[in-house]
Structure 1
């Protein structure tokens, strides 16, 4: 039996996990304690370290964890983009990376409320930079203020539960009352537009667009290699790097997971020829899209760095809100990427769905129900703190 047929029987292709649209995120890891998914160590007294331990569990592009912290006081710190953790091939203007800064800030604020603190934030305290550049300036300054009687954000209880679920979804249809609840929760905190689509015609069109978008993405070797770099081929890589994603994030467990990682996946072979890895990614995108009845997106009239960060905060809350309702959520934003090859299809997507050219669709994701998948690994808090 050849390798490809083995893959079909096992149910996971070599590219089977390369289908997140790049916010892969808070997805129950090999060792939850080691990877942060039990919350901060109870022996830690420093409130900054406690909230940062929670903040790192936020969704972010390819689970690359693009954050850098510089401590500024006993109760304060600044957040920067880590310039060594970016995705220039698939996110050439760093828009998704800045959305990932927003998810970090929202998780941090929610965590602070659950610990009796208010997170006072100042966006871009040294000045905001352009929406196509990356400058060594803080995205936000944060001060943690102890506040007696502070009301815990109800989403705090879901920080350790929510994840990006990349499985094929069940036949469950998200009902209107659930969509109304999600829309109301979004409106309470957001200035941006949230759109749901769930007709059979819209689903079929989006499936076609999302599949074609993935085909475009894997049509370039450098883009493929950027994704493969963040793919963790086995447990040794997961423990070494503590980032990225692997077959567990598609729901593969037990013997199948061990078999695929031990006998079917090999970094050297895949990097030498990315063709099969890429085609499996396309096939998986088509399958998960076909299994989905409801899609949604968040769009903005502007596209400044501040817009991107705020959208990240909104998306994070949406992911937590769906978790609180027992719904699965998974971003599929390849078609939103800004490299030249994708722009024509992106224009078609906006035209088909009546989205003004002047608006930016910042996040596109699917909703439904599915069994949970393992969380993606996280680094240690100490690894994101930089000494000036």
Structure 2
């Protein structure tokens, strides 16, 4: 029988899981550890859902999938073998995954997961301009392989396709200006002034990055029309390097796989000194997601737009205390 896992080890695993990205850094997850079974249960936290910008909870599932991948990496680093099941109890829709932390004697470690561990704390979203420098072809291939290993596809769109995606982002921005109430989620999850220094969730003003004076990089302006001191404006890339993460289907299980694939790609990119940012702005309505697909193949469901490049990494954003997201029973 495998020895009991101590509470400190489990807390460390969950702390690293929660370093994952999530929409507006809402951190829409909860964890429960069943100590007798060495089982970590991952739940969605509906109080952190976004009814206006994520009405079907697609982005919520993607964020939880990213946290699940970090948990797997952290477990391997701790000398454990994570055996994962998605959506293990159909009658409990908030229960998204179960991870059995088994004895490594049962099967070998995944060395590739262990290798990614240092990137968990290094990865931060960058909302700054990137250099006008191509991502090497072999690096693109490595990132595509990362997505494929988690059941997803990473596509680097050609010039025409990329311009279409950027048009969709601009259309989404225009929609936000015109539609009443659409910015309620963004306002709820941004932290301005003194609140930015004490927040445990959301996007603090120091992570907004500069305002975009020019350029085509798809960077959401979290400030909107609200003033932010010492922010400044600058020119971003005119030819941003984009990648589209897709899954074969568009179900909750696909969204969880997309989140795991996304985090594997982001951690690998971080180890390669690539700065990254994400946008789902043009994907918040299913009809727009269909328009973002590869015009050649026309298959799959685009779940996330990534922006990759060489530039400053963004600052660390706040995280909730582990005690607030973990129950041990």
Question: Residue 221 in 1 paired to residue 180 in 2?
Answer: yes
Aligned to 1:249: 207
Aligned to 1:53: 15
Count of residue pairs brought into register by the alignment: 302
Q: 1:143 to 1:368 in 2, by over 3 A?
A: same
Which string of whole-angstrom CA distances, capped at 9 and with x for unpartnered residues, describes residues 149-187 of structure 1? 735521012111011111121111212222122223333
Question: Residue 232 in 1 paired to residue 174 in 2?
Answer: no
Aligned to 2:218: none
What is the CA–CA distance in structure 1 between the aligned matches of 2:65 and 2:158, rounded to whole Å?
27
Asked whether the 8 Å contact 2:52–2:184 carries over to 1, the reply is: no
Asked whether the 8 Å contact 1:48–1:76 carries over to 2, the reply is: no
Greater relative CO, 1 or 2 (CA 8 Å, sep 6+): 1
TM-score w.r.t. the length of structure 2 is 0.82
Asked whether the 8 Å contact 1:248–1:373 carries over to 2, the reply is: no
What is the CA–CA distance in structure 2 between the aligned matches of 1:346 and 1:208, rounded to whole Å?
13
Partner secondary structure for residue 71 of structure 1: strand
Q: 1:338 to 1:206 in 2, by over 3 A?
A: closer
Which string of whole-angstrom CA distances, capped at 9 and with x for unpartnered residues, describes residues 220-254 of structure 1? 23221210110010243441x400112322346xx
Query: By percentage of residues, which structure has more strand?
Result: 2
Correspondent of 1:72 among 13, 30, 34 = 34
Partner secondary structure for residue 312 of structure 2: coil
Correspondent of 2:278 among 323, 327, 331 = 331
How far is 1:208 from its partner?
Answer: 2.7
Correspondent of 1:162 among 123, 132, 150 = 123
How far is 1:372 from its partner?
Answer: 1.5
Cα RMSD (Å) of the superposition? 2.7
Q: Which structure 2 residues correspond to residues 1-388 of structure 1 after superposition, within 5 A? A: 46-74=8-36, 75-127=38-90, 136-147=93-104, 150=109, 152=111, 153-187=114-148, 189-199=149-159, 201-239=160-198, 241-251=199-209, 276-277=225-226, 288=236, 290-338=237-285, 343=287, 345-350=288-293, 353-354=295-296, 356=298, 359-386=300-327
Q: 1:151 to 1:208 in 2, by over 3 A?
A: closer
Partner secondary structure for residue 378 of structure 1: coil
Asked whether the 8 Å contact 1:198–1:294 carries over to 2, the reply is: no
Q: Which runs of 5+ in 2 are unaligned?
A: 1-5, 211-222, 228-232
Which string of whole-angstrom CA distances, capped at 9 and with x for unpartnered residues, describes residues 97-149 of structure 1? 01111101100000111111112222222127xxxxxx654111122224257
TM-score w.r.t. the length of structure 1 is 0.71
Q: Which runs of 5+ in 1 are unaligned?
A: 1-43, 129-134, 253-269, 279-283
What is the CA–CA distance in structure 2 between the aligned matches of 1:166 and 1:251, rounded to whole Å?
5
